[in-house]
Amino acid sequence: MFSKRISINNLNEVLIFLNLASLLEISGWPKPGNVHRTHNFQDTRFEHFLTGISSIQPAFIEFCSKIFNKYDPDENNLEIVNIGNFYLSAAKKMMMYQAGGNVLLGHILILGPLSAAICICLKRKEFSFNNFKLVLRDLINKASVEDTILLYKAIKKCNPGGLGRISKYDLNDEDSLKEIRKDKIKLKEIFEISKDYDLISSEYSTGFNITLTEALPYFFVIYERERDINTASVNTFLKILSDHPDTLIIRKVGTKKAIEVSIKAKEIIKYGGISSSKGLMKTKELDKELQNEGGKLNPGTTADLLVGVLFLALVFGLRF
């Protein structure tokens, strides 16, 4: 039940739900176009994701433990969060233990600020959904130039595909880090620059608007009705995809194709998603269609948003 109050009270529960959220996201079946339990890409397997999830847990332990040990509610010393250090540490660990490439950078970027905000709320003993949203915005707004630098280093470490190019501060430009330092571009600003072509950047720039105001309430409605975690996960994935063309697809093959995929997801939602036999059949058909394109039509950013929904669902009361 979505109580709009944080349902946990200690660090161990935060860490358990971070791990579980990633496991539930990758286990969702059939999320059309993604690697999932019955489909691998040519060089990236389901098991690579499982390995990556295990590999990044020490980074979460270090990150969240530091906040619990050093954050002072009276001082509101948010500078101790140093989220950029977490990005780089988690990216290194994710790439160290598996050969499937960048499998979880999106999870790292989404779960980093969400988990930090939850930890701060627990330290403050502020448990309401509204308090959480305010802390999350404050945390992102106060992230530093150094966090931006470390974000770039983390992304380069993962060598992700489908980044595209921008006129300034491009990741492929060797002078970008110098320009970021010179121009004093903080984390919120760099995400503002990229928000129109990347859904994760858009989430940072809007205080995670899609996750918090659209996807999370939808997830709870579906779960309360179906009482099935996989159905709620996949239907939420389809709902996000139907409303927001996936920006990884846009960067790989263009807006037109991404919109076509979203239209097909919207049609499936009209059938009740995988809750109905017709919807499940059409979801499998869409999955097959997208998989035939060799990863070019992979709604990977949508999957990354889903992991944030799952984490917050657990934190705000989901038990199954």
Q: Alpha-carbon dihedral of residues 35, 209, 166, 298, nearest 10 degrees? A: 20
Q: How much is the pLDDT for 161? A: 65
Q: How much is the pLDDT for 166? A: 65
The residues, any chain, with a CB within 8 Å of residue 159's CB and separated by 6 or more, are 101, 102
Task: Give burial (CB, 10 Å; 0-12/13-18/19+) of 224.
Answer: exposed
Domain boundaries, the chain: 11-315
Q: How much is the pLDDT for 172? A: 81
Please, are residues 207 and 137 in contact by the beta-carbon 8 Å criterion? yes
- Asked if CATH classification 1.10.4200.10 holds for the domain at 11-315, the reply, yes or no, is yes
Give tens-digit pLDDT for 7-45. 999 999 999 999 999 999 999 999 999 999 999 999 999
| CA angle at 233 for the pair 59 and 137, rounded to the nearest 5° | 50
Q: pLDDT below 50 — which residues of the chain?
A: none
